[in-house]
Structure 1
C-alpha cells in the first residue's frame, strides 16, 4: 500500500452499522488517523443536515461532501461549493420515477420534501438523517432548487431497471446512481464522490494517489476510480468489490475500523 495522506469515507453501509450507529472502534480508528497526521473526511448521498451528528465525534475539520459530493460544506455546514439539478432534468426525473411507482423525495439545501408522510421508507430515512420531512402536495415550487431527488422502492430489480432508463432519459443532464439497493439518487451533472475527492486534494495540495477511499455501493465507485487505494466493504456487491483495491469486513463486523487499522499498520503508524 502506498503512503496515505487522506481517507475519504462513505457513511451508510460503511461508517455506520445497519442501525445507523457509529461504533467506539470506528471512532477510535479515526482518532488514530488524526494522531498519525492522516486527514479524514466523509462524503455521502445524505443531505448536509444528515451528516451533522458525525462531525464532532470524528473530529472532522475538513469539508464534507453531501448529496454524493455535489454539495460541499465546511464542518459548520456552511456552503463551500453548491450545485443544483437543472429544472428540465428534475421534471424528467419525476416522470420516470412515477412510471416505476417509486416513492419520491426531493431535497433542497435545507429541506427534505415528501408527498406521503406514511411512505414505507420515511421512517427509515428519519432514523438515518435524524430529521423529519416537510410534506407537500406538489413539488412544482421546488423544481429549480433540487439538490437531490430520491426514488425509494423495495423492488431492487425494478429500481435497477429504473436506473438504466433514468440514465438514458437524462443523459448528461444529471447523474443517476443507486446509493442503496432500495434508493436511486439523482444528483447534479458532472459532480460526484470522485470530484469531491479531487476538490479536497486540490485544497490540501496532495495527489489523489495518496488518498484511500472506502464504501459499499455503486455511487462510491467514482471515488474508488480517482484514489490510489480503495476499500470495498464486505457487505458490498461483487461488482463493487471487484473495482476496489482491497475488501474489508462488513459494516456489522467493524469493517470500517479494520480498514483504518490496516492503513495505520501499512503506513508504519
Structure 2
C-alpha cells in the first residue's frame, strides 16, 4: 500500500477529540516506510490544516467531505463548489426553519448571529439527556472557541459574497427536523446530502465526495487506487471506502459501514487506526 486516507472524527480522534500517542506512532511508522498519509474530513481546510499544524501531522488534506483537496504542501489540487444560487436557496430555507448552519467557503467558515442562539438551545436539549457526555462533546466541538467561525447578521450577507462555497452544514437535535431537512435537499440534481454526526446533515455538490478526493489525490501522486487504504466510521466515509483498494471500518462504526469494508479494526478509543496500520504493514503493535 502506498497511500492511507484517514477520517478524523470518530476515527483518528478518540472520544475526547485527541490523537493518541499510539495512533501518532503508527502514522510515523507508515510514513517512514514511504507511505503517503491523507486526512479526509468534513471539516474546513482552515480547521484541518490547523489541526495538522498543532499535532505535527504532515499529511495531504481532503476537506469538506471531498469538495477540496490539498497537497501536504498546501497546494490546492481540486475543488468542487456549490453554485451561488443553490447556496442562496439552501440558506434561505435553513434560516426560515431555524436550523443552526455553517457555510464553508474559500473566505472562511460562516454562520448567522441568531444561529448561535439556536445552537445553544439545541445543545441544551441534547445535554439534558446526558449532561456529562454531550455538554463536554459539544463544548470541544461546535462550541469550541478555537473554531474560525465568522458570524454575520443574516444569511444574505453570506450568499451575496463573490466566493467559492464548498459545503453547508446543518445541525439539529430534533429527529423529525433532521429528517425533514435531509429530505428537503437530497433529491436536488446538483446536490448530495451526507452525514458525519448523529445530529447533522451536510450539503455538498453532487460531484464532491471523499471518494472523489481520494481519487484526485491518488492520481496526483501517481498511485493506483488498488494501492490505497481508507479508514473511516461514518456515512460520509462510504465513498472513499468504496474507492480504496483496501477499506477499514472502525470498531465504533455502524453496521452498514462495517459490512462494506475489507477489515474491521478496534474503536477510536482503542487506537483503532494504529491497529489497522500495523495490520496492513504485517507488523505487531509495539508494546
What TM-score, normalized by structure 2, do the two folds share?
A: 0.82
1:135 and 1:44, CA in 2 relative to 1: closer, same or farther beyond 3 A? same
Aligned residue number for residue 165 of structure 1: 184
Q: Contact 1:108/1:148 (CA < 8 Å) preserved in 2? A: yes
Alignment partners' CA distance in 1, 2:22 and 2:143:
25
Q: CA deviation at 1:76?
A: 4.8
Q: Does 1:251 align with 2:249?
A: no
Q: Contact 1:234/1:247 (CA < 8 Å) preserved in 2? A: yes
Q: Does 1:64 align with 2:61?
A: yes
Q: Any unmatched runs of 5+ in structure 2?
A: 124-137
Alignment partners' CA distance in 1, 2:253 and 2:174:
18
Q: Contact 1:31/1:58 (CA < 8 Å) preserved in 2? A: no
**Out of 143, 162, 166, which is 1:147 matched to?**
166
Q: CA deviation at 1:96?
A: 4.8
Q: CA deviation at 1:151?
A: 0.7
**Out of 132, 138, 153, which is 1:137 matched to?**
153
1:110-169 CA-partner distances (Å, limit 9, x unpaired)? 422122334236742243x9324211121223326321111111234642453233212x
CA RMSD, Structure 1 to Structure 2 (Å): 2.3
Matches within 5 A, 1:1-269: 4-56=1-53, 57=55, 59-61=57-59, 63-98=60-95, 101-115=98-112, 116-118=115-117, 119-120=119-120, 123=139, 124-127=141-144, 130-143=146-159, 145=163, 146-156=165-175, 158-168=177-187, 170-171=188-189, 173-265=190-282
Alignment partners' CA distance in 2, 1:155 and 1:77:
38
Alignment partners' CA distance in 1, 2:226 and 2:271:
25
Q: CA deviation at 1:191?
A: 1.7
Alignment partners' CA distance in 2, 1:38 and 1:76:
16
| Paired residue secondary structure (2:11) | coil
1:21-58 CA-partner distances (Å, limit 9, x unpaired)? 11111110000101112211111100011112443545
Q: CA deviation at 1:101?
A: 4.4
What TM-score, normalized by structure 1, do the two folds share?
A: 0.87
Alignment partners' CA distance in 2, 1:6 and 1:79:
18
1:149 and 1:256, CA in 2 relative to 1: closer, same or farther beyond 3 A? same
Alignment partners' CA distance in 2, 1:239 and 1:95:
33
Alignment partners' CA distance in 2, 1:139 and 1:193:
27
